[in-house]
Amino acid sequence: MGYFPFFIDIKGKKALIVGGGKVASRKAEKLMSFEPELTVVAPAVSRELAENEKIICKEREFTETDVEGCLFVIAASGDKALNQRVAQLCREKNILVNVADDREACGFLFPALVKEGKLTVGISTEGASPQTAASIRSRTARELPGRMEEILDYLEKLRTYAGERIADSHKRAGFLKEAADLCMEKDRPLSKEETENLCAFYLNLSKKRNSPGVVTLVGAGCGAFDLITLKGLNAVRKAQVLVHDDLVDARLLAHAPESCEKIYVGKRRGRHSMPQEEINGLLAEKAKQGKNVVRLKGGDPFVFGRGGEEMLALKKEGIEVREIPGITSSIAVPALAGIPVTCRGMSRSFHVITGHTAKGESLPEDPKILAALEGTLVFLMGSKHLGEIAGKLTAQGKSPETPAAVVQGNFKGQVRAVRGTLGNIARKTEEAGIDSPAVIVIGQTAEVDLLS
C-alpha cells in the first residue's frame, strides 16, 4: 500500500454514505466540519443523521445512480455484500471509496483527526491499528495551545501585513517564523504593540543578528525519553544548539530541528567527558552568538547535575539562563522497581546523597549523622562505592539488617533491581552484575515491591 496524506478541499463537493447506522454516523461526524454536500442513503437512518440539517437523508435502498457526480463514497451499510457492490461500482467509475472494516477494498482511509480551526492533523497506520492512531491523536491534541484557532487566524492575516511592510523576503520569512514561535510559546496571538515592535526589529535588521541568546537548562528525566516534561520537550524542539550528556535517551535528540547543532559533552567508553569549565565556556560562546541554546541533562539539572554551577557561570557572563525541571532518578528509578521513597508508617522523609564527590570520597557528610537518620537514604552515583557506603553506615550504628536495594533503569523503561540488607547488598549486587549508573536505596521502604 502507498497511502499519501493529501489534503483535498471537499467543501461543497458531492459525497455519499451508503448506510445509516452508528458507523455511518461516526464517518459523517468527521466529515461535517469540512462542509461537503453529503447524502446518506439507507432503508433506515439513525436519528442523529436524520436530525442534522446539513445532511441529505434518503430512507430507501441504494441504487447505482446514487454515486453519480460524487467526489467520494463511503460504504458503511453493515451488509458486506452491499459494501462490496458499492466498492466495485466506484472502482469502475474511478470514484474514491472507503469501505468500513475492509481495508483491502478501500481506495482511501479515514485518518484519526485533530481539527482546530484551520489546523488539521490526520494520522493513519494504514489500517494496521486504528487504536494506535487514536492514541497518537490524543497526544497531539494535548500539545496544542488552547487558542489554536485564534492563533492561526492571526498568523494568516499577518502574512498580508508582512508582505506590505517587509520587502526583503529573508527578513519577512524570519519575521513570520518568529511571530509563529512567539504565538505558540505565549498560547495567544501577539498584541498590536508586540506585532509592531517585532516588525520594526526586522525592518532594521542587519545581515548579522546580534541579539543576545539564551541558555535553557532542561532536565531530560531519567530512563526512557517519554519521562521528559512537556515544557522540556518543547524547549528541545526550538533549540538551535543542543548540548547533551550521556544519560539522555537518544530518541530525545530526534525532536530537535534538523538545523540544530548537537554537541555531546558526556562520557563514552574510552573517552573522558568535557571538563565542566569547558562546558560553561561552550554554553556562553553559543549564547553570545545569539543562539537559543538548550543544555539537556539527565534527571534534574539541580540534583547533582551541576546545573547550579552552569547557571552561575552564565549569569556572570551576563547571559539569560532559564531552568526547566526534570524527573530525578532519586525518585523515579526506585519507583520503576516498585519502591516508594516515602510510605506512611515506614518513612516520613527521604534524603538524597551523592555517592561520589570530586575528591573521590564515598560519603561527603558525616556517616554518623546519616546512620542516625530514620528516613530513606537514596544514594546517586555510588555504585562503585557501595561496599564502602554500607560499611561506614554499619560502623556508625546502622543495623546490618536494614533493608537495602540497588536499582538500575535503562532508556527502554526497563529496570533491574537487587534487594537485600545493608549487610549483604554489596555482595548481592556484584553477583547480579549490576554496575553504574544505579540508585542505592537504604531504609524500610527498600524491601517494598508495589509491582509484585
List active site positions: 245, 267
The sign of the torsion formed by the CA atoms of 272, 317, 236, 230 equals positive
Residue 56: Cβ within 10 Å count: 13
Number of H helices, E strands in the chain: 15, 17
Measured between alpha carbons, how far is 386 from 241 in angstroms, rounded to an integer? 37
Q: Which residues pair with 441 in a beta bridge?
A: 378, 405
Residues 6+ away with beta carbon under 8 Å from 64: 89
Q: Which residues pair with 73 in a beta bridge?
A: 16, 97
Q: 293: which DSSP letter? A: E
The sign of the torsion formed by the CA atoms of 9, 114, 29, 110 equals positive
Measured between alpha carbons, how far is 330 from 350 in angstroms, rounded to an integer? 10
Joined together, the cell numbers standing for residue 355 give 555517592
- At 366 the three-state DSSP class reads coil
Measured between alpha carbons, how far is 432 from 416 in angstroms, rounded to an integer? 9
Joined together, the cell numbers standing for residue 278 give 569547558
The residue to which cell 509484585 is assigned: 452
| Of residues 392, 347, 355, 407, the one with CA closest to residue 373 | 347
Joined together, the cell numbers standing for residue 360 give 573521590
- At 235 the three-state DSSP class reads helix
Residue 240: Cβ within 10 Å count: 17
Q: Which residues pair with 123 in a beta bridge?
A: 112
- At 150 the three-state DSSP class reads helix
Joined together, the cell numbers standing for residue 241 give 544548539
Inter-residue contact 244 to 296 (CB < 8 Å): yes
Inter-residue contact 325 to 305 (CB < 8 Å): no
**Residue 71 buriedness (CB in 10 A; 0-12 / 13-18 / 19+):** middle
